[in-house]
């Protein structure tokens, strides 16, 4: 419905602001990101699709550009992220507008922005790495920064392909960073994708234990 697509970004902004005000946030190994920034090193955030909502809270105002699908839902998500975080979006996926998306991401990176990608999105399989993010890191020569989050109070949409998570107010939350992963010119994308999955799985387990 057009009216719903119009309202969702505004409601999302209000909801994100309320969560930010009512959630106690802890960051683990935030110095990893700080060190990259201190060295003027651009990077690609990688996080599971199911956990993207809380990043509108924890990374509000971050100088980054997100890869969002070209679907109708993607349009709402892109506008919501813009209003919540001031974050620009590049539209496309592996199945729609892939070449345009790559060009847009390269342009964003060269303008001084970091990138944000959900390597199992937009349609799954859940928590499985698609090689696109590895190819992009290899082509651009920038590291991938694994990051995740977890909340003590949240809603899990069990009917969605990834059991999408929506943070709820008055809880504890944690953001956890992993060590950067570099993809060299001669590296196997399959091997590096497995390395990224191991990292994301490990920090996600860590995050869940911290809010249990």
pLDDT band at 122 (very low <50, low <70, confident <90, very high): confident
Q: Are 173 and 211 in contact (CB under 8 A)?
A: yes
Kindly report which listed range (60-64, 101-105, 174-178, 204-208) carries the lowest average pLDDT score: 101-105
| Global pTM value | 0.90
pLDDT at 196 exceeding the cut of 70: yes
Structural domain spans, the chain? 2-211
In this predicted structure, what is the pLDDT of residue 96? 53
pLDDT at 84 exceeding the cut of 70: no
Q: How far apart are CA 21 and CA 156, in angstroms?
A: 21
In this predicted structure, what is the pLDDT of residue 73? 61
Please indicate whether residue 81 or residue 135 has the higher confidence score (pLDDT): 135
Collapsing DSSP to helix, strand or coil, 93 comes out as coil
What fold characterizes domain 2-211?
Glycerol-3-phosphate (1)-acyltransferase (3.40.1130)
Mean pLDDT across the chain: 88
Name which of 71, 56, 167 is nearest 122 in CA terms. 71
The residues that bridge with 67 in the sheet, in sequence order, are: 90
User: Element (H or E) spanning 19, and its range?
Assistant: helix 2-22
Report the sign of the C-alpha dihedral through residues 60, 61, 66, 69, in that order: positive
Q: What is the mean pLDDT of residues 53-81?
A: 76
Q: Are 172 and 24 in contact (CB under 8 A)?
A: yes
Those residues whose C-beta lies under 8 Å from the C-beta of residue 102, and which sit 6 or more positions away, are 92, 136, 139
Collapsing DSSP to helix, strand or coil, 155 comes out as strand
């Amino acid at each position: 419905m057009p009216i719903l697509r119009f309202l969702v970004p505004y409601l999302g902004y209000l909801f994100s602001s309320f969560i930010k005000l009512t959630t106690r946030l802890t960051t683990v190994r935030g110095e990893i990101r700080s060190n990259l920034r201190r060295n003027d090193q651009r990077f690609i955030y990688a996080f599971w699709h199911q956990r993207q909502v809380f990043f509108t809270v924890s990374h509000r105002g971050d100088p980054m550009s997100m890869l969002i699908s070209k679907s109708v839902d993607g349009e709402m998500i892109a506008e919501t992220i813009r209003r919540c975080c001031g974050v620009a979006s590049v539209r496309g996926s592996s199945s729609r507008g892939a070449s345009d998306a790559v060009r847009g991401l390269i342009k964003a990176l060269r303008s001084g922005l970091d990138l944000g990608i959900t390597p199992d999105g937009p349609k799954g399989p859940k928590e499985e790495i698609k090689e696109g993010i590895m190819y992009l890191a290899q082509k651009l020569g920038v590291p991938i920064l694994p990051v995740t989050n977890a909340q003590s109070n949240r809603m899990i949409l069990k009917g969605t392909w990834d059991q999408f998570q929506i943070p709820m107010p008055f809880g504890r939350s944690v953001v956890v960073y992993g060590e950067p992963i570099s993809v060299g010119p001669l590296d196997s994308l399959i091997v590096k994708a497995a390395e990224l999955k191991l990292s994301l799985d490990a920090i996600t387990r860590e995050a869940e234990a911290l809010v249990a």
